[in-house]
Amino acid sequence: MELLNAEDLQIEEIEYQAFKYAKKLKTLYLKKNLISNIENFRGVPLLVHLDLSYNRITHIKIDAFAKNRELERLLMNHNHISELPGFQNIDNLEELNLSNNDLQEISDNQFRGNPMLNSLDASYNQLRHFNLNQLNDKPNLSFISVSYNNLESLYIPGQVQKLDARNNSISYINANSCSLQNLYLSNNQITDISALRNCRSMIILNLSHNKLQSIDLIDAMPELSNLNVAHNQLFEINFPAKVAHPLQILDLSHNKLSFGPTNKFDQMKTLKLNNNNFIEFKFGGMIKSLNYLQLSNNEWSCEKITQIMQEKREIIYDINETCINSQARLLNGICCKDYKRAFNDRLKEMIQEIFVHENVNKKDQEKCKPTKPAIGVNQPNVQTMHNKIAELDSSTREMFNELETVKSQIAHIEQEIISNTTRQYKLQTVNQSFKQLVETYSGNYGIPKEGLISPSKTLEKVEKYTQDRKRNSENLLARRTNEVEATNARMESKNSEKFTSQSENERLEEVLKNIKTKESKLKKEKQLLEKTWNRNSPSVHG
């Protein structure tokens, strides 16, 4: 026998010599039982596949697998394991699943003797320490999952191609050498990703829900096709300068971005820009390849939105219902503003003007630079030149003062934009929660939707319906109470009648008893009279 399926048989323990006569067993399924303790599997030295998942295992003896050198696949997920046994002697181990247990720590030499390890899953535990550096000597290791733990640092083994470390507390990353193609780091505390510059084979990168403020490593990932940096604190994102890139999916939503990339993303399919501070975005050639676009909750220029709507209205999958900002208006479902010029164009023009003025002033100063007076120079002319220089200096100072004022105004406007966007997002969140609450109450109480009626009106209907329902319940309760009281009264009346009937029956029974007694007495008297009559009869005396 090479295969034994003992799944879901309510097995509570494995006896010491349970596999005494199963020396050739290679595959053993013990899934979904009630096993809590594992001693060893010495009786099955040829075991290749062992499934212990979905049990109640809390303890595994340190040398439980010491004799199972041929084991390739070991599944121990969904148990209550808090301490691991030794795996050092399992030379052929390829797949190990430890997910959904109670592990808090994995020692630094836990996998010292498993050269063939290919897949390791330690997700959904309580891990605070697991140094992946110990896996650097596993040439076949391609997949690791440590998601949903409490790790604070992450070492990326050089040969791993797919790494899932979502939902931890990671703030430090180390990747000296990197072969990663898929990396999932969402929901962590990451502020710096410079260590990932070595990951030139990256295809999918998820950094959403972290604390990033800038990204400048896209040029180091020429194969990247899917990038998610949503829900960060990004103010800027630097892309390769005007070179083609295979990026197809880009999620920049829920950040603080104002400017978009200017390079060529001719293969872009999905682009999410919602919930930022964008005034405009230079789509370039990507507008032709896009088939999914999100734009809502930004500071768009109405001119830009009109242009996008004319070119690709059918690919926009999100719209604003209302515009919170009083200066914005709703245009084809997107809030926008009528800027005289786009913000960044105005800024560039001001910088260019300043640069020109500075160059002119420098040239004027060089021309008007005082030199040693020559013989015969008219002194009043020299004084006039000094006066002109002073006027130019004064004009320059005034210009720089105006520039500082403009910069201050720009900074103030940016701060107002960020503040308004934050308030807008919070109000939308509250409004959405309010709508969901109303929808829930409407569903619970059977209130039908009526077109685009506002949530407040719907809530009034829910409240009225609740009050009517309360009154109906109170009336029903009163009627039921009256019915119960009437029923109790009838029961008492019937009980009284029953008691009276019982008394009358007892009286009649007593009367009947007396009658029977009298009847019996009369019968006896009759018999005596008959006897007396017979003795005195003439026929008797002749």
Q: What is the pLDDT of residues 427-469, one digit of tens each?
A: 766 666 666 665 555 555 555 545 445 555 666 666 676 777 6
**What does the block give as tokens for 299?**
């500071």
Q: Hey, which residues does 29 pair with through a beta bridge? A: 5, 51
Binning pLDDT at 50, 70 and 90, where does residue 360 land?
low
Give percent of the chain with pLDDT exceeding 70: 74
Binning pLDDT at 50, 70 and 90, where does residue 422 land?
low
- Identity of the residue numbered 453: I
- Residue 485 pLDDT: 82
Those residues whose C-beta lies under 8 Å from the C-beta of residue 81, and which sit 6 or more positions away, are: 57, 58, 60, 98, 101, 102, 103
Residue 493 has pLDDT above 50, yes or no: yes
| CA distance to 19, 31, 308, per residue, from 4 (Å) | 11, 11, 63
DSSP code per residue over 363-412: HHHHHT---PPPTT--HHHHHHHHHHHHHHHHHHHHHHHHHHHHHHHHHH
User: Looking at 55-112, which runs of residues are DSSP E strands?
Assistant: 59-60, 73-75, 95-97, 105-106
Binning pLDDT at 50, 70 and 90, where does residue 146 land?
very high
Phi and psi, residue 142, nearest 5°: -120, -20
Tens-place pLDDT, residues 59-83: 999 999 999 999 999 999 999 999 9
Residue with tokens 């010292």: 112
Mean pLDDT computed over 385-398: 56
Residue 331 has pLDDT above 70, yes or no: yes
Residue 147 has pLDDT above 90, yes or no: yes
Mean pLDDT computed over every residue of the chain = 81
- Residue 478 pLDDT: 82
Residue 176 has pLDDT above 70, yes or no: yes
Mean pLDDT computed over 280-303: 87
Binning pLDDT at 50, 70 and 90, where does residue 376 land?
very low
The reported pTM is: 0.64
Residue 241 has pLDDT above 80, yes or no: no
Residue 182 has pLDDT above 50, yes or no: yes
* Sign, CA torsion 277/283/286/289: positive
Sequence spans of domains, the chain = 340-370, 436-505
Q: Are 88 and 66 in contact (CB under 8 A)?
A: no
